[in-house]
Structure 1
C-alpha cells in the first residue's frame, strides 16, 4: 500500500528495492509486485462497484479491462466483483439517523431552519456516545432528537399526532433516549461533545448550541 500511495502522491516514488530494504528482505521483488497487483485489482473492482452505485453513467467492464492494461479478462473482473459483494453480504449501505431526519423534521416544522439545526445537533451528540448508538436504532435516535428539539424550543405539544404517525413512535417510547440527548446537550461545552458544541454554536448553524437546554421532558418526569 505504501508503494502504491507513493506512486500516486510523490514526485519521486519508492522503488522496489526500497520496499525490499524496508521489509528487511522479507519479500522478494516478485512477491512485492504480486501484492501490488492483487491490491490494485481489488481496488479496481471496488471502483467498478462504487461507480455502479453512485454514478449516472457507471464504468463498463471494458473500461476496467483497459484500466488494468488487459491484465484481467471480463470473467475475472466479474468474478472479483462478485467475491467482494458476497463478502459484504450484498449490503452496500446501512440506514443512519440522517435518512430519517428530513422526513421527521418536515412532519414537525417543515419551514423552520432553527428546528432542523437543533435536531441535527441532538443527533450528532447522540452519535458521539457509544451506548446511545448501539441501544437505539437510527429511526429511534432521529425521532428522539426531534422530540428533544421540540422540548428545547418549547413547542407544544411536544409530540404531535403527525409525528407519531410518521415515526411510528409514541412519546413514551422516546423517553430514555431523549433524556440522554438532553443530558449531553446540557454539558456539551465541557466534555467529549465539545467538538459538536463548537460546530453548532456557530451563527451559520443558528447558534442552537447556545439555547438553554430543556428543563423538563414530560416523559422523563413521568418516569422518575
Structure 2
C-alpha cells in the first residue's frame, strides 16, 4: 500500500509538471501571437490575399520543420500561417510523424484563401453592377452623388412614386359629410397643433403628417366635436412616432390637453385611427414636395422660409384641400420667389420642366393662397388664429411674416385639378 501511494504521488507530480510546462508554452505562443492578431483584424485587400497565397508553402514548411524537431510525445501549438492574413485564430497540434497532417493543413489553408479571394471579387462585381451610371442621375442631384443620405441615384424614382401615391392618399374636402364639426373648428384645431408643434420643437415633416392623418381620418369617420381635440393630439402622437427620433410620450399628450382625456382614451383612439387608415402612413405631404422644389429652384434661406410660411398658413384652411400637395408646394415656391425674381422669372424653366405644372393652374392656386394670407381666420368668438404668423415672426425664420405679400395680375380663375 505504501509503495502504491508513493507511485501515485510520483505520477501525480510528474503529470502536474508536464501539464505546467505545456500550459506555459501555450501561453507564451499566445502572447507572441496576440500582437499579430490585433494588427490583422482589418479585412485584407485583394492584393494582400494574393500575396498570402504565395507564402502558404513557406509557412507550411516552417511549421513542418518545427514539428520534426520536437521531442517525442511533446505537443506544440502552431498558428496557421496561411490564414493569419485574415485574422484566423485556428490552431493545429503537431507532433512526431505529422508530415501528412501538415500537407492537409496547407491545402486547406490554400483553399480557404482562394475562397476568400473569389468572395471578395464577387462582392466588388456586385457593387459595380449596383452603381448607377452618371447619365441616369438627375442634373439636380449630381452634386449629391457621394452623399448616401441624399440618395441621388433614386431621387427621380422616389419623386415618381410620390406622385403616384399622391393620387391615392391625398385627402379632399369632407366637411359636407360631417355632422357635428365645421371648417372653423378644424382651423382652431390646426392652430393649436401648430403651437404644440413649436413648443415641443418637433421636426417640420411631423406637422404636415399630423394634418394629413387628421384629414384622412375625418374623411372616413364622423367625429363629435368633443372628440376632435382627441383626434388631433393622437394624430400628433402617431406622426411623432413615425418622424421623430425621440417621439412625444402619451403622458405629454394628456398634459397638453389639460387632462381633458385620459391615457387610455389616447391609446384607444390611436388604435382606432391606425386601423381606419390601415397603417398606411408612408404618404407624400406638402413638405415632401416643398423640399424637392426648393432644391431645384436653388432657393435662398429667405425664400425657403417664405414658402414654408405660405404653406403652413394653408394648413388651417379646409378649402386648400381642393388642391393636391404638390400644387400647393409649387404655388408657395412660386410666390416666395416673386419679390426677388419678379413674376416673370418666379417660375424657372427647370421647375416648369420638372413639375410639368401648367402656369394657369399654378397662378390660380397662388391667388387662393394670397387670399388666405390676407384674411386671418377668425373664430365664432372673434378670436384671431395667429399661431403660424407668430411662429414666422421669430428670428429663426428671419421674420418673413412681416414681408410684403406678392401680387398677381387679375385673371379669370381656371380649375386647378
Task: Name the TM-score, length of structure 1 as normaliser.
Answer: 0.55
- Give the aligned CA root-mean-square deviation in angstroms: 3.4
Deviations 1:74-120, CA, capped at 9 Å, x for gaps = xxxxxxxxxx987643522322100111110111134x100100000
Counterpart for residue 389 of structure 2: 197
Alpha-carbon distance, 1:54 to partner? 7.2
In the alignment, structure 1 residue 185 sits paired with structure 2 residue 373: yes
1:1-224 correspondence to structure 2 within 5 Å? 88-89=277-278, 91-110=280-299, 112-132=300-320, 134-155=321-342, 156-188=344-376, 192-215=384-407, 217-218=408-409, 221-223=410-412
Alpha-carbon distance, 1:177 to partner? 1.5
Cα distance between partner residues in 1 of 2:341 and 2:371: 17
Q: 1:109–1:115: 8 Å Cα contact kept in structure 2?
A: no
Alpha-carbon distance, 1:122 to partner? 0.6
Secondary structure at the aligned position of 2:284 is classed as coil
Counterpart for residue 5 of structure 1: none
Counterpart for residue 72 of structure 1: none
Counterpart for residue 92 of structure 2: none
Secondary structure at the aligned position of 1:94 is classed as coil
Deviations 1:121-170, CA, capped at 9 Å, x for gaps = 010011110111x2011111111111121224444412111111222212
Secondary structure at the aligned position of 2:345 is classed as coil
Alpha-carbon distance, 1:192 to partner? 4.6
Cα distance between partner residues in 2 of 1:193 and 1:207: 18
Secondary structure at the aligned position of 1:159 is classed as coil
Residue 120 and residue 207 in structure 1: after superposition, are their counterparts in 2 closer, same or farther (change >3 A)? same
Q: 2:317–2:372: 8 Å Cα contact kept in structure 1?
A: no
List runs of 5+ in structure 1 lacking aligned partners. 1-46, 57-83
Cα distance between partner residues in 2 of 1:86 and 1:195: 31
Cα distance between partner residues in 2 of 1:152 and 1:193: 26
Residue 188 and residue 177 in structure 1: after superposition, are their counterparts in 2 closer, same or farther (change >3 A)? same
Q: Which has the higher contact order (CA 8 A, sep 6+)?
A: 1
Cα distance between partner residues in 2 of 1:120 and 1:198: 14
Residue 94 and residue 113 in structure 1: after superposition, are their counterparts in 2 closer, same or farther (change >3 A)? same
Cα distance between partner residues in 2 of 1:183 and 1:86: 37
Cα distance between partner residues in 1 of 2:244 and 2:314: 32
Cα distance between partner residues in 1 of 2:400 and 2:330: 18
Cα distance between partner residues in 2 of 1:174 and 1:160: 13
Cα distance between partner residues in 1 of 2:298 and 2:371: 23
Cα distance between partner residues in 2 of 1:107 and 1:90: 32
Q: 1:117–1:206: 8 Å Cα contact kept in structure 2?
A: yes
The structure with the largest alpha-carbon Rg is: 2
List runs of 5+ in structure 2 lacking aligned partners. 1-237, 246-272
Residue 192 and residue 154 in structure 1: after superposition, are their counterparts in 2 closer, same or farther (change >3 A)? farther
User: How many residues are treated as equivalent by the alignment?
Assistant: 145
Residue 208 and residue 87 in structure 1: after superposition, are their counterparts in 2 closer, same or farther (change >3 A)? closer
